[in-house]
Every structure is written in structure tokens, then in C-alpha cells.
């Protein structure tokens, strides 16, 4: 005997999302994605800017280290006809010193000179013999930037040049508290230079000044 079932058939739940749910999901996903994208872009920009600042600050640190030592040493003295020590020009701006130190490497920005007396000579008569010393800071073109190299010379014999800056945009300028090229050397010498990371076109770069004092009397 066949049983007849009356009434409406069983209702089955629909699988998937409704149109409203789908629209809301897409909208929320767009908002979250935009926020994440902004965070990633800001992170990349910050990382690049930080790298540029580190590169640029390295130039300043190297220049400052050598600058202090070199300025503190400058001061040539010569014996006159009365056997008295007299000061002689020790700072040469835009030109090499008496021994032409650095001219074979690049364009001289500034050169410092001083004498070393032979105070330990076995014969006292030789104590006034001097050994000339010079240090020159020279620029060398490198693509869109200038390298700053330091050359030290002893008895006109040059040492291996040292690169102390790699991202200069223009040649540095030199200032002294008195006339730089006077016979009496200045007490303070300053170098102003501008650096900008060549690998980061968005870097603003910066201009700074390093100063040092002469220690010789």
C-alpha cells in the first residue's frame, strides 16, 4: 500500500553567500588591503630614508675624525738668520702646499703643512733639522658625485690616498678664524660640505660644517 505524504516538501538551506554578504566582504577586504599597503609603503620609504641617512652620516664621521688630527698638527716654523724660529704659511686653500702634496690624486681643496724637528738627534747641532709634513684634501669626480680623498706626505713622499667621503655634491669650502694663508697660522679651520646619497634620488641630503682647533703654539 503506497502512503501519500501531504503538505509542502522539506526546505533545504542554500549553500554559499548572499549578494549582500559578498558585497560587504569585498568592501571590508578593500579597506584592510589599503591599510596594509600603506603600512608596507611607509616601511619601505622609512627603510630607504634611514639607509640614505646612514650613508651620508658616514661621510661626516670620516671627515671629522681626520680633520681634527690634521688641523691640530698644522704650523710650520723656520729658522731665520738670527737662529730664531718664525712662523710660516701652514694653510693653503685651493692650492697645494710647498711639497705639492695631493696634486697627482685630484683637485686640492685645502692643504696643511708642519715641520717635525729632529729632537732626538745624537748630535745636538742636528736637532734643528726638520722633516716637512703635509696633508692635502682633494676631490675626485665619481659619476654625479665627488670623492674626497686625504693624502699625507712626508718629505714629499705621498702615502696611499684615503677616501674620507663618497657622496659630495659640490667641492667643500674652507674658512678660518683669521686669514687662512697668513704666515701666522689660524687657530681654527672649518670645512663646509654637502652630501647626498647617490643611490637614493629621493634623499634631500644635507650641508654641514666640521671645525677643529690648532694645538701647536
SS3 category, 200: coil
**The 3-state secondary structure of 175-190, one letter per residue:** EECCCCCCCCCCCEEE
Answer with the residue of higher pLDDT: 70 or 10. 70
Q: Where are the domains of the chain?
A: 44-213
Exposed, middle or buried by CB within 10 Å (0-12, 13-18, 19+), for 76? buried
Under DSSP, the state recorded for 106 is: S
Q: What is the pTM of this model?
A: 0.73
pLDDT classification of 192: cutoffs 50, 70, 90: very high
* Contact between 57 and 199 (Cβ < 8 Å): no
- Per-residue model confidence as pLDDT tens digits over 106-151: 999 999 999 887 666 566 666 567 788 999 999 999 998 999 999 9
Q: What is the mean pLDDT of residues 20-49?
A: 70
Amino acid at each position: 500500500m503506497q502512503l501519500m505524504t501531504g503538505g509542502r516538501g522539506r526546505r533545504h538551506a542554500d549553500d554559499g553567500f548572499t549578494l549582500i554578504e559578498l558585497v560587504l566582504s569585498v568592501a571590508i577586504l578593500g579597506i584592510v588591503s589599503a591599510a596594509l599597503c600603506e603600512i608596507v609603503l611607509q616601511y619601505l620609504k622609512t627603510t630607504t630614508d634611514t639607509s640614505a641617512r646612514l650613508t651620508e652620516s658616514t661621510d661626516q664621521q670620516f671627515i671629522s675624525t681626520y680633520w681634527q688630527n690634521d688641523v691640530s698638527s698644522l704650523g710650520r716654523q723656520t729658522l731665520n738668520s738670527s737662529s730664531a724660529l718664525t712662523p710660516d704659511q701652514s694653510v693653503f686653500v685651493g692650492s697645494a702646499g710647498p711639497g705639492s702634496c695631493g696634486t697627482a690624486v685630484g683637485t686640492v681643496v685645502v692643504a696643511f703643512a708642519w715641520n717635525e724637528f729632529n729632537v732626538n738627534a745624537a748630535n745636538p747641532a742636528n736637532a734643528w733639522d726638520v722633516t716637512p709634513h703635509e696633508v692635502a684634501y682633494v676631490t675626485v669626480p665619481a659619476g654625479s658625485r665627488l670623492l674626497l680623498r686625504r693624502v699625507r706626505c712626508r718629505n714629499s713622499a705621498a702615502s696611499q690616498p684615503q677616501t674620507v667621503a663618497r657622496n659630495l655634491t659640490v667641492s667643500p669650502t674652507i674658512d678660518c678664524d683669521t686669514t687662512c694663508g697668513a704666515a701666522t697660522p689660524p687657530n681654527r679651520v672649518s670645512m663646509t660640505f654637502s652630501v647626498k646619497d647617490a643611490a637614493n634620488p629621493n634623499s634631500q641630503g644635507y650641508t654641514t660644517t666640521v671645525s677643529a682647533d690648532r694645538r701647536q703654539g
